[in-house]
Chains A and B, each alone.
Chain A
Amino acid sequence: MRKIFTIFLACSSYTVFAQHAQFARVHDVNHTRNTTKQPATDITTWFGRVGVGYAFTQAGQVNSLYGVPYSGNVSYDNTGATINSFDYKKASLNSGVNATIAAGRMFGPHIGLELAAQFNIAPASYTYNAHNITINNTLTDLSIKQQGKFPIFLIPAAVFQTQVAAKLQAYGRLGLVLPLNTKVKISLSETDATGSTAYTAEQSSNFSLGFNGALGVKYEVGSNLKLWFEFNVMSLSVYTKKEEIKSYTDNGQPIPLYQLSSTSTTYTFSGSNSNPNNGTGPQATSSVPFSNAGVMVGVSMRL
């Protein structure tokens, strides 16, 4: 049903944009002749833009797989049975420094289409520390660090803009988010009375469609150049597909991966553990938060 809505919207939008372009061609010739409101450079033109900004966790999650928090601390008592104190925070693996590069076409003075690529060039990392947690009947200090591994998204969007002052335009953008890379790096370490183990792993996810919106202003600094500033949001959760161990150490000594009984775990929406007692079958998937709200600045130019 959601796919039908998306297809319907895409088809309708195409029709409207085509109609609008035709209408604007006729209307705006007269419009620009009669008023100085809209610079002629914005009517039916190709444009490019680049920008950089920072995104904060929005609509994030507290817990990851198996109810383990992404970020925070917990301390159990000496029996490992009772939590003395905890401090958990929300997380989104797409928080951090984002860069964007985009190109698009305006079909008149007010609406256009754009295709952007967004890169999280410095993703925020989240650490969960548990003191005296019981693992395999042993009191353990556990630390798990998770960080997005250079998340990349393609964002086709509809653009709306209007003149608000001589050189100032307000604009809005709404589009789909097609995640190209949502891998997550995991570093886990466990220390108990007998020693310590640690591993690094990489978690990949199923493809999920998200949504992106922005509201901003553009200021004309030259005939073909504009500075822009925007507030943007992304709504996206992906679902864990696979976790693969990349390195493993036992008391600081590297262990070759072939010596491990298993180096990967698959996660699915439904499944059956053929041998549940050894826990090697597929596990129930869990959502991984990539939503954010952020600000971005940049320049756009007429192509």
Chain B
Amino acid sequence: MKKLFTLILACGSFSLFAQHAAFMKTTHTSLPPKKKTFPNSMWYGRVGIGYAFAQNGQTMSAYETPYNGSLHYVNNGGSTTLGDFEVKKASFNTGVHAIVAGGYMFDHHLGLELAGQFNIAPYSYTSNSYNYLTGGYNANINILSKAKLPIMIIPSFVLQSGEQGLNIYTRIGLVLPVNTKVEKSYRVDYLAGGPNGINNKEYTLEESSKFTVGYTGALGLSYKTNKVKFWAELNVMSLSVELKEQKVTAFANDGHPVPLQYVTPGTIEYIQSGTYSKNAEPTYSVPFSYVGGIVGLAFQL
């Protein structure tokens, strides 16, 4: 149903822009020639850089593990229960963003744009669980999670109050995630020795996700000089992806690397429905939403 809506939106937009182009052609050819300080229709490019904060983020991943925070468990008979805790919101698209975009304005107010957005310095999140009972052993678990250069392609509509001087604009579009991989360093320190006398285990994991369409919007100010336009905006992205696969990329017991062919399971597939096994588990959502500020330059192409 959502795909149908996206299709309708795309077709509707195409028809709208075609109408708009025809309308502009008619209207403008009937008007007396104006002194052109800036063409009505133009191709443009823009670049920018900014910072994004977690918005609409999650506190917990699956299995009661926080993305960002700490849990202290206390012994309670043969099990453990939660004592002190601190959890924070997390989104894997937080960090320093760079954007490169190109677009076409049909007149001074309406345009289309295609942008590539790169999170060049993703924020890393730390989760600590103390005295956690895992496989019958009490252990401290430390997980460091960080996205691996998230890249998004963003086709969007641009609406602005005008072209010259100071103006306000908005941009609303789809988010097509190209890369939403997340790297994790996972360390288990057994408090009183673990299985086979091992004291600690270290994994490096890489997680990939299913393709999911998200949405983005921006509200900003632009100021045009003779040659370039300066812009500053507040932008938001709404995107959650679903985990598809987790792969062990490195493993060590007590600091000694273990060849990956001996790591079982080396890969876990995450699925929405199916049969549970050591290689297949239920998927869960991974947050990529944010709110941020970005500044940059736009120029006519």
Q: Which residues of A contact B (CB under 8 A)?
A: 1-2, 5-6, 9, 12-13, 16-17, 19-20, 23, 34-37, 56, 58-63, 66-67, 69, 72, 74, 82-90, 108, 110-111, 158, 160-166, 168, 170-174, 210-211, 213-215, 217, 231, 233-237, 239, 269-273, 276-277, 279, 283-287, 289, 291, 293, 295
Distance (whole angstroms) from the CB of A234 to the closest CB of chain B: 8
The yes or no answer to B269 lying at the interface (CB within 8 A) is no
> Could you write out 13 A-B pairs with CB less than 8 Å apart?
A16-B161, A56-B1, A63-B60, A84-B276, A85-B275, A88-B273, A110-B159, A110-B160, A162-B159, A164-B23, A235-B215, A285-B87, A286-B60
Could you say which residues of chain A place their CB within 8 Å of the CB of B276?
82-86
Distance (whole angstroms) from the CB of B163 to the closest CB of chain A: 11
> Are the CB atoms of B238 and A276 closer together than 8 Å?
no
Distance (whole angstroms) from the CB of B242 to the closest CB of chain A: 7
- Extra 10 A-B pairs, beta carbons < 8 Å, given A67-B62, A85-B276: A5-B292, A58-B2, A59-B239, A67-B63, A89-B272, A158-B170, A162-B107, A174-B217, A271-B84, A284-B60
The yes or no answer to B150 lying at the interface (CB within 8 A) is no
Could you say which residues of chain A place their CB within 8 Å of the CB of B160?
110, 160
Instruction: Identify which of A34, A237, A270, A273 contacts B87 (C-beta below 8 A).
Output: A270
Distance (whole angstroms) from the CB of A97 to the closest CB of chain B: 14
The yes or no answer to B283 lying at the interface (CB within 8 A) is yes
Among the 9-residue stretches B12-20, B115-123, B132-140, B245-253, the one with 4 or more Cβ atoms under 8 Å from chain A is B12-20
> Are the CB atoms of B31 and A233 closer together than 8 Å?
no
> Are the CB atoms of B87 and A284 closer together than 8 Å?
yes
Could you say which residues of chain B place their CB within 8 Å of the CB of A293?
2, 5, 215
- Taken together as a complex, chains A and B put the C-alpha atoms of A2 and B234 apart, in Å, by 10
> Are the CB atoms of B74 and A164 closer together than 8 Å?
no
> Are the CB atoms of A62 and B53 closer together than 8 Å?
no
Q: Describe B's contact surface by its main secondary structure.
A: strand
Instruction: Identify which of B23, B83, B219, B237 contacts A9 (C-beta below 8 A).
Output: B219
Please name the residue on chain B nearest to A237 by beta carbon: B56
- Taken together as a complex, chains A and B put the C-alpha atoms of A63 and B1 apart, in Å, by 23
> Are the CB atoms of A19 and B166 closer together than 8 Å?
yes
- Taken together as a complex, chains A and B put the C-alpha atoms of A192 and B60 apart, in Å, by 29
Please name the residue on chain B nearest to A171 by beta carbon: B159
- Taken together as a complex, chains A and B put the C-alpha atoms of A82 and B278 apart, in Å, by 10
Could you say which residues of chain A place their CB within 8 Å of the CB of B64?
66-67
Instruction: Identify which of B62, B107, B170, B221 contacts A174 (C-beta below 8 A).
Output: B170
Please name the residue on chain A nearest to B22 by beta carbon: A165
Please name the residue on chain B nearest to A238 by beta carbon: B56
Q: Describe A's contact surface by its main secondary structure.
A: strand
Do A270 and B291 form a contact, CB below 8 Å, given A16-B168, A165-B19, A235-B238?
Answer: no
Distance (whole angstroms) from the CB of B290 to the closest CB of chain A: 9
Could you say which residues of chain B place their CB within 8 Å of the CB of A87?
272-274
Could you say which residues of chain A place their CB within 8 Å of the CB of B298?
none
> Are the CB atoms of B9 and A231 closer together than 8 Å?
yes
The yes or no answer to B103 lying at the interface (CB within 8 A) is no
Instruction: Identify which of A90, A163, A233, A271 contacts B285 (C-beta below 8 A).
Output: A90
Please name the residue on chain B nearest to A16 by beta carbon: B168
In order of increasing CB-CB distance, the 3 nearest A-B pairs are: A83-B276, A235-B238, A160-B159
Interface string of B42-71 (1 = CB under 8 A from A): 000000000001011111101110100101
- Taken together as a complex, chains A and B put the C-alpha atoms of A236 and B27 apart, in Å, by 42
> Are the CB atoms of B27 and A291 closer together than 8 Å?
no
> Are the CB atoms of B285 and A60 closer together than 8 Å?
yes
The yes or no answer to B147 lying at the interface (CB within 8 A) is no
Distance (whole angstroms) from the CB of A40 to the closest CB of chain B: 15
Q: Which B residues from 199 to 241 make CB contacts under 8 A with A?
A: 214-215, 217-219, 221, 234, 236-240
Distance (whole angstroms) from the CB of A98 to the closest CB of chain B: 14
Could you say which residues of chain A place their CB within 8 Å of the CB of B85?
270-272, 284
> Are the CB atoms of B236 and A34 closer together than 8 Å?
no
Do A35 and B172 form a contact, CB below 8 Å, given A85-B274, A90-B285, A233-B215?
Answer: no
Do A235 and B172 form a contact, CB below 8 Å, given A85-B275, A170-B16?
Answer: no
Q: Which B residues from 163 to 212 make CB contacts under 8 A with A?
A: 166-172
> Are the CB atoms of B159 and A270 closer together than 8 Å?
no
Q: Which B residues from 69 to 97 make CB contacts under 8 A with A?
A: 69, 71, 74, 76, 81-89
The yes or no answer to B293 lying at the interface (CB within 8 A) is yes
Distance (whole angstroms) from the CB of A179 to the closest CB of chain B: 12
Please name the residue on chain A nearest to B237 by beta carbon: A235
> Are the CB atoms of A211 and B236 closer together than 8 Å?
yes
> Are the CB atoms of B53 and A86 closer together than 8 Å?
no
> Are the CB atoms of B234 and A9 closer together than 8 Å?
yes
> Are the CB atoms of A295 and B285 closer together than 8 Å?
no
Could you say which residues of chain A place their CB within 8 Å of the CB of B272?
87-89
Q: Which B residues from 261 to 277 make CB contacts under 8 A with A?
A: 272-276
The yes or no answer to B39 lying at the interface (CB within 8 A) is no
> Are the CB atoms of A62 and B168 closer together than 8 Å?
no
- Taken together as a complex, chains A and B put the C-alpha atoms of A299 and B162 apart, in Å, by 27
